């Protein structure tokens, strides 16, 4: 009888574990981003915020957020550009605006973008539940909307290397806080990798290669070098 009870509770435990795994949106194939299940929100990449950036080199953030935006555009991921009191803080980063020249950034007064009904309505209209966010600064304009959206049932992914804080500690503490709230941190290169997923999806390969050359440093230069060597071999 004792052995039967042990076996019963063991099976019950396995069943419960499997159920948790099936319902865990942060594990398994369903946790990965696709062009069909995600949206991107780029928040407050403006001159005032860059002036106060202390956690990263400004050029690194510019390179990464523009690469992130180009990736979203290449895969057709709905992307929202938004600024805060831009008449005082400055217009959106020009290099970022140039990726979506037809889109006028949504200018807010809310520091927490998720408290602006226009932002939330935009997300709801897409019908998607995976929200990818990059922002300046991490401890304020990234953390607040990420934490709130996660609490409202969205799967939130923050792009840590396309965001930055006023200090390294402020940025790192913001990331820790968001993780504790159920937010998933990623880097901008991961975003493209998950969307591509299979090199047999050749439609987006040229755009991926172009972004890699323009924004991924030695990865891009190595790829160009490889092409050079292959071309030299063919010519011989």
Does residue 24 form part of some domain? no
One domain for residues 144 and 184 = yes
Q: What is the CATH number of the domain that holds 122?
A: 3.40.50.850
Q: Whole domain around residue 223: which residue ranges?
A: 199-236
Q: Specify whether 60 is located in the same domain as 161.
A: yes
pLDDT confidence band for 9 (50 / 70 / 90): very low
* Domain co-membership, 162 together with 209: no
Question: For residue 232, is it within any domain?
Answer: yes
**Dist CA 157 CA 51 (whole Å):** 25
Q: Are residues 120 and 219 in the same domain?
A: no
Alpha helices in the chain (DSSP H): 2-23, 47-51, 58-75, 86-89, 94-97, 117-126, 143-151, 168-180, 188-196, 205-215, 218-235
Which of 38-42, 151-155, 215-219 comes out lowest in average pLDDT?
A: 215-219
pLDDT at position 232: 76
Position 20 scores a pLDDT of 47
pLDDT at 83: 98
- Both 40 and 138 in a single domain? yes
User: Has residue 121 been placed in a domain?
Assistant: yes
Other residues' Cβ atoms within 10 Å of the Cβ of residue 69? 27
Q: Residue 45 falls within a domain, yes or no?
A: yes
Structure confidence at residue 219 as a pLDDT band (50, 70, 90): confident
- pTM attached to this predicted model: 0.87
Do 65 and 136 fall into the same domain? yes
List the catalytic residue out of 61, 134, 136, 141: 141
* Residue 139 sits in the same domain as residue 230: no
Q: Label residue 13 by pLDDT band (50, 70, 90).
A: low
Segment 81-93 mean pLDDT: 96
pLDDT digits (tens, 9 = 90+) for 120-178: 999 999 999 999 999 999 999 999 999 999 999 999 999 999 999 999 999 999 999 99
Q: Is residue 190 part of a domain?
A: yes
- For residues 193 and 210, membership in a common domain is answered with no
Distances (CA, A) of 64 to 74, 188, 194: 15, 7, 16
* Res 7 pLDDT > 70: no
**pLDDT tens per residue, range 169-212:** 999 999 999 999 999 999 999 999 999 999 999 999 999 999 99
Give yes or no: residues 41 and 146 share one domain: yes
pLDDT at 69: 98
| Mean pLDDT, rounded, for 2-29 | 59
The answer to whether residues 153 and 188 belong to one domain is yes
Mean pLDDT, residues 9-13 taken together: 53
Does 11 qualify as catalytic in the annotation?
no
Residues 190 and 203 in one domain: no
The whole-number pLDDT of residue 26 equals 84
Residue 105 has, within 13 A of its CA and on its CB side, a CA count of 26
Number of domains in the chain: 2
User: Residue 50 above 90 pLDDT?
Assistant: yes
Residue 20 lies in a domain: no
Q: Is residue 21 part of a domain?
A: no
């Amino acid at each position: 009888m004792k052995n039967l009870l042990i076996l019963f509770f063991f099976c019950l435990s396995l069943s419960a574990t499997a159920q948790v795994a099936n319902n865990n949106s942060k594990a398994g194939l369903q946790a990965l981003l696709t062009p069909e299940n995600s949206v991107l929100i780029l928040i407050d990449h403006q001159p005032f915020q860059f002036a106060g950036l202390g956690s990263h080199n400004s050029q690194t953030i510019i390179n990464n957020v523009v690469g992130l935006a180009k990736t979203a555009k290449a895969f057709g991921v709905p992307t929202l550009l938004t600024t805060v009191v831009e008449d005082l803080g400055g217009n959106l980063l020009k290099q970022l605006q140039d990726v979506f020249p037809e889109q006028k950034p949504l200018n807010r007064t809310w520091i927490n973008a998720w408290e602006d009904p226009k932002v939330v309505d935009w997300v709801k209209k897409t019908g998607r539940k995976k929200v990818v966010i990059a922002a300046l600064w991490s401890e304020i304009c990234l953390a607040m909307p990420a934490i709130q959206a996660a609490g409202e049932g969205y799967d939130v992914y923050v792009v840590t290397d396309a965001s930055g804080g006023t200090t390294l500690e402020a940025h790192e503490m913001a990331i820790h806080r968001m993780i504790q709230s159920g937010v998933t941190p990623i880097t901008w290169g991961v975003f493209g990798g998950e969307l591509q997923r299979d090199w047999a999806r050749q439609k987006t390969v040229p755009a991926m290669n172009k972004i890699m050359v323009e924004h991924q440093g030695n990865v891009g230069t190595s790829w160009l070098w490889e092409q050079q060597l292959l071309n030299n071999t063919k010519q011989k």
